[in-house]
Amino acid sequence: MNKIPVACTKCASYDPELLSLKVREAIVLAGGFPKSIRKGARVLLKPNILSAREPENAVTTHPEVVRAVIRELKHIGAHITVGDSPAGLHPWDKLWNTTGIGKVCEEEGVQLIPFENQKTIDFSDGKINIKIPVLKELDSFDAIVSIPKLKTHSLTKITGSVKNSYGLVIGYAKSHFHSIYPSPKKMSSFIGRLYGLLKPDFVIMDAVLSMEGDGPNSGMPFRTGLLFASCDGVALDSCACAVYGYKADEILHIKKASELGFGLSDMSMIDKKGEGFEEIGKVQYKRSKADFLFKIPEKLFFIVTMAIKTRPKFDYDKCVKCGICARICSQRAIYKRREIYKLTSSKCILCMCCIESCPHKALALRTRLFF
Ligand code: SF4
Ligand code: SF4
């Protein structure tokens, strides 16, 4: 069996000329685009547009990386559409303008679509059968190119390629599925399984500026200076998680996707290409609190997290009372009283959707053990 190439190139900044060179270098080192991405192909570009945050916050894929990938696809004559479904209900214009992705698409003359029209696909984990709402037009594309952002994640430890595919699920459903899989282990396993239905054809990861700590929305940006690329998102994530000192089998959604044959996590089967790999491990960045959550036995998860007061906490200096967090909460655990949003801890299942969707970094996971 041939090894799968994963490219990792050094890229010090979001300077468009540098990115143009480095994105191309990464694609070439990764073996080039697969046959599905060819002249005339309809390609869906799927960046991470989690929330209406500016690029310097490292919450979303940087617009200049999106531009560089658009230009590579234009170069081969593909027809490009860009889109993603955010966490929570954000006005599309605000989402696209704040992240800078709207401007890039306009300047490059490519279509940017809201993920609104739905169809459902059937999913089964062997015990539970679910209808998953995804973009109605998904089948009209010949290929998907995923452009994830490398970040920590307070529920799943990291978010990269496999997790970025979960963004193809539309709107509130993403939050609703936490009710069915109400723990970090169950949710990670679900995300790994679902990846098989939503696999991209090629992945280019933005890890020029990444996130440490309370990701994916409330952590701190840090300059990793890397770009990853591969036609295997599982293999790519297996390499990229080493930035935080993880091995692939420590990240359950990567492990599950690999076990089910959706990609490779066995490092002996991955051909590491590029000088960027030499940089990994020189600095170990701060992980999220998910490491701790994964240590709690499944059956005791709710009791233990309640006992040590591990719940989202509001920063009222930052909260603008937009209500996005309350609307995304599938458990109705967030309510408004006397113009202030509050949390009913006993209703919270720690899905982190409110933290992910807050556009003002006004929610973060807090626990007695850490503070
Ligand atoms: S915490 Fe405040 S700013 Fe953040 S989503 Fe909730 S209401 Fe909006
Ligand atoms: S309050 Fe709890 S259950 Fe509701 S969205 Fe936030 S973390 Fe999830």
Write the pLDDT tens digit of every residue in 311-328. Answer: 999 999 999 999 999 999
Backbone dihedral region for residue 122 (phi beyond 0: left; psi -120 to 50: alpha; all else: beta) = beta
- Domain ranges in the chain are 4-279, 290-366
| Measured CA distances, 314 to 67, 172, 175, 355, 361 (Å) | 35, 21, 19, 9, 9
Fold of 290-366: Alpha-Beta Plaits (3.30.70)
Q: Where are the beta strands (DSSP E) in the chain?
A: 4-10, 42-47, 79-84, 111-114, 118-124, 129-135, 143-147, 149-153, 157-159, 202-212, 220-230, 270-273, 311-314, 334-337, 340-343, 363-366
Q: Is residue 4 lining ligand 2, measured as CB closer than 6 Å?
A: no
Q: What is the 3 state secondary structure string of 232-291? A: CHHHHHHHHHHHHCCCHHHCHHHHHHHHCCCCCCCHHHEEEECHHHHHCCCCCCCCCCHH
Distance between the two ends of the chain, CA-based, in angstroms? 49
Q: What ipTM does the predicted assembly reach?
A: 0.99
Q: Is residue 334 lining ligand 2, measured as CB closer than 6 Å?
A: yes
Kindly report which listed range (99-103, 170-174, 201-205, 354-358) carries the lowest average pLDDT score. 170-174
Q: How confident is the model at residue 371 (pLDDT cuts 50, 70, 90)?
A: very low
Kindly report which listed range (89-93, 187-191, 210-214) carries the lowest average pLDDT score. 89-93
- CA-closest candidate to residue 48, choices 93, 86, 97: 86
Q: Is residue 352 lining ligand 2, measured as CB closer than 6 Å?
A: yes
Task: Give the Å distance between the CA of 316 and the centre of ligand 1.
Answer: 9
What average pLDDT does range 119-130 have in this prediction?
95
Is the domain spanning 4-279 CATH 3.40.50.11440? The answer is yes
Q: What does the alpha-carbon distance between residue 189 and residue 127 come to, in Å, rounded to a whole number?
A: 13
Counting ligands in written order, the one closest to the CA of 333 is 2
pLDDT exceeds 80 at position 240: yes
Return the top range by mean pLDDT from 51-55, 234-238, 328-332, 367-371: 234-238
Residue 370: predicted pLDDT: 52
Domains 4-279 and 290-366 belong to one CATH topology: no
What average pLDDT does range 163-179 have in this prediction?
90
